[in-house]
Amino acid sequence: MAIKTSPAPLPPYARVKQYLKRELARGRWTPGTLMPSEAELVQRFSVSRMTVNRALRELQSEGLVDRVQGSGTYAAQLHGVSSRLTIRDLHEEIGARGHEHRAVVHLKQAERATAELAHQLGMAEGAKVFHTRIVHLDNGVPLQCEDRYVNPACAPGYLGVDFEQTTPTNYLRTVAPTWEAHYAIEASPPTAEEARLLGIRRDEACLVIVRRTESRGVGITLARLVHPGSRYLIEGHFKP
Amino acid sequence: MAIKTSPAPLPPYARVKQYLKRELARGRWTPGTLMPSEAELVQRFSVSRMTVNRALRELQSEGLVDRVQGSGTYAAQLHGVSSRLTIRDLHEEIGARGHEHRAVVHLKQAERATAELAHQLGMAEGAKVFHTRIVHLDNGVPLQCEDRYVNPACAPGYLGVDFEQTTPTNYLRTVAPTWEAHYAIEASPPTAEEARLLGIRRDEACLVIVRRTESRGVGITLARLVHPGSRYLIEGHFKP
DNA sequence: AAGTGGTCTAGACCACTGG
DNA sequence: CAGTGGTCTAGACCACTTA
């Protein structure tokens, strides 16, 4: 009996994908070029059309090819480095590093929404909003100042939560399980208050993430996350 | 003959997906919970197993469910806001806004690699590297200072390119069609030189992207892209 | 009209998990 | 062992593009 040394004899659809990826990487089809049709690949690999179709559909969802019904499959333009960016819950992020996370609540109250804020959350001006300001510490070092406004309609119990035990992100996740988010990443100086809470100079560059989440068109929360530039960065990796 | 008013009667696999997404959003299956098996869905929707399978496979690739062979399909933990982050070629980015892009080359020469640089690019210390420093203007306003080192082995003709006509990113794309990249986004002050070239104060916060790209383990290029915080931000959107 | 992709089906075999 | 997902097939019908 033969000994199986091959660890995993790639399934057919994966072999087709691999072939196409390799040839794309070699520049065999420059961006915009017509690539082999499903029928051609069916013949070349002696597999069924569904198998080829799966390979091509996956390449499309990975952004490597464009498919046009009635026309053909084309090598995609490489728009740039595109990768999965994950903005994780800071508590998990710190935990993943094996550090201790601690949160200090500096503000927790109900307020009246300003015109700008009301617009962002899709509420009426002057309506009640919840406001928290929390500093997150990584092994005792301030890593993030989290200024957050929450729509009371979505999380009536928000002010009653102990945010030294759980994070707002975590809590809101249980209230509104799935949402849509818009975010911006920018570099800017901290406000005087933020500088004080983070223990940094007012002219230290900060990495600021502003994130607005909504569910079914209703604004849930608007958060401003300020990180000292000297202590925080976002890393990522891209593989075609 | 009946008049077709429905614009697009969602195909079966999409209806299954839609159903599962909606119920997930409603919290019907909390993270980690066992979800209906393929067989159950086949019955409920009166479709073939391949159709249900496709729906579930796509939900998996979107990170909404975890599937374990032999066990079942489980509602995924929401790891955080995860979205496609694209760092585009600045030339395209400016063009997409309908603005005029101009590049000024401040430095273009061969140098000897320092130990650190050699390590980053996987070369020998003291080996020859190409170095360019280019400022990109958006309608005349400095938007990015691009400091770039290139491995001559990957792009021998690099120094001969006219970077007022094409961008390094664009050129390197033609030389090494597909690559792997590692990047970091951080906030930091500009160097004195960068502040001068960008026409900003030394204490202005800058959004800095450091990106290293390689192909098959060989370092191609290391770039430091410095943007005035007051003029640039990265935006993104996340939809489950 | 010919060629392309978009989708579905009914049945099949396999590998893995769990009791 | 029964149940689950992983994958493949052969054929089918449709909508769309191109000429």
Q: Are residues B144 and B71 in the same domain?
A: no
Assess whether pLDDT exceeds 60 at residue A144: yes
With respect to residue B236, please indicate whether it lies within any of the assigned structural domains.
Answer: no
Q: Are residues B95 and B208 in the same domain?
A: yes
Q: Are A129 and A121 in contact (CB under 8 A)?
A: yes
Residue linked to tokens 């082995």: B153
With respect to residue A180, please indicate whether it lies within any of the assigned structural domains.
Answer: yes
Burial degree of B102 (CB within 10 A; 0-12, 13-18, 19+): middle
- The CATH number assigned to the domain holding B204 equals 3.40.1410.10
| From B177, B211, B233, residue closest to A81, measured CB to CB | B211
Q: What is the rounded CA–CA span in Å between residue B132 and residue B162?
A: 11
Strands (E), B45-79: 65-68, 72-75
Q: Determine what percent of chain B is predicted with pLDDT higher than 90.
A: 69
Q: Are residues B135 and B68 in the same domain?
A: no
- Whether residues B85 and A89 touch (CB distance < 8 A) is answered with no
Q: B5 pLDDT band (50/70/90 cuts)?
A: very low
With respect to residue A7, please indicate whether it lies within any of the assigned structural domains.
Answer: no
Q: Are A183 and A209 in contact (CB under 8 A)?
A: yes
Residue numbers of B between 28 and 67 with CB closer than 8 Å to A = 30, 50, 58, 61
Q: Does an H or E element contain B93, and which?
A: helix B90-96
With respect to residue B5, please indicate whether it lies within any of the assigned structural domains.
Answer: no
Strands (E), A39-193: 65-68, 72-75, 80-88, 101-112, 128-138, 141-150, 180-188
Q: Are residues B67 and B168 in the same domain?
A: no
Assess whether pLDDT exceeds 80 at residue A116: yes
Residue linked to tokens 């499903």: A38
Contacts of B78 in chain A (CB under 8 A): 173, 177-178
With respect to residue A84, please indicate whether it lies within any of the assigned structural domains.
Answer: no
Q: Are B107 and B224 in contact (CB under 8 A)?
A: no
Q: Are residues A148 and A194 in the same domain?
A: yes
Supply the mean pLDDT for chain A. 89
The whole-number pLDDT of residue A236 equals: 81
CA distance A232 to chain B (A): 7
Residue scoring higher pLDDT (A81 or B203): B203
* Residue A204 CA from chain centroid, whole number: 26
The predicted-structure confidence for B67-111, as pLDDT tens digits, reads as follows 999 999 999 866 555 556 666 778 888 888 889 999 999 999 999
The whole-number pLDDT of residue A3 equals: 40
- The CATH number assigned to the domain holding B37 equals 1.10.10.10
Mean pLDDT of the region A117-123: 92
Q: Are B218 and B151 in contact (CB under 8 A)?
A: yes
Tokens of B98: 């309908």
Query: Residue B95's domain spans which residues?
Result: 90-228
Q: State whether residue A96 sits within 8 Å of chain B by CB.
A: no
Q: Give the residue among B230, B126, B102, B87 at the shortest CA–CA distance from A235.
A: B87
With respect to residue B70, please indicate whether it lies within any of the assigned structural domains.
Answer: yes
With respect to residue B157, please indicate whether it lies within any of the assigned structural domains.
Answer: yes
Q: A42 pLDDT band (50/70/90 cuts)?
A: very high
Q: Give the residue among B223, B213, B145, B222 at the shortest CA–CA distance from B181.
A: B213
Q: Are residues B111 and B214 in the same domain?
A: yes
Interface test mutation site (partner A, options B85, B86, B145, max chain A beta carbons within 10 A): B85
Question: What Å distances lie between residue B18 and B10, B12, B154, B238, CA to CA?
Answer: 9, 10, 46, 17
Q: Are A183 and A211 in contact (CB under 8 A)?
A: yes
Q: Are residues A95 and A44 in the same domain?
A: no
- Which nucleotide is closest to B8, CA to C1'? D15
Tokens of A118: 């009301």
- Indicate the residue among B45, B75, B105 that finishes a domain: B75
- Whether residues B208 and A188 touch (CB distance < 8 A) is answered with no
Assess whether pLDDT exceeds 50 at residue A12: yes
Q: Are residues B60 and B95 in the same domain?
A: no
Q: Are residues B39 and B152 in the same domain?
A: no
Please tell me whether residue A209 adopts helix, strand or coil conformation.
Answer: strand
- Whether residues A239 and B180 touch (CB distance < 8 A) is answered with yes
Assess whether pLDDT exceeds 60 at residue B170: yes
Q: Which residues pair with A224 in a beta bridge?
A: A147, A210
With respect to residue B132, please indicate whether it lies within any of the assigned structural domains.
Answer: yes
Q: Are residues B101 and B154 in the same domain?
A: yes
Mean pLDDT of the region A66-85: 79
Q: State whether residue A6 sits within 8 Å of chain B by CB.
A: no
Q: Are residues A155 and A55 in the same domain?
A: no
- Indicate the residue among B21, B44, B75 that finishes a domain: B75
Interface test mutation site (partner B, options A154, A171, A183, max chain B beta carbons within 10 A): A183
Report the number of distinct structural domains present in chain A: 2
Q: Are B225 and B212 in contact (CB under 8 A)?
A: no
Q: What is the rounded CA–CA span in Å between residue B76 and residue B95?
A: 39
- A224-233, B5-14, B37-46, B126-135: which has the minimum mean pLDDT? B5-14
Q: Are B24 and A215 in contact (CB under 8 A)?
A: no
DSSP letters, A30-81, are -TTPBPPPHHHHHHHHT--HHHHHHHHHHHHHTTSEEEETTTEEEEPP--EE
Please tell me whether residue A202 adopts helix, strand or coil conformation.
Answer: coil
Q: Are residues A156 and A37 in the same domain?
A: no
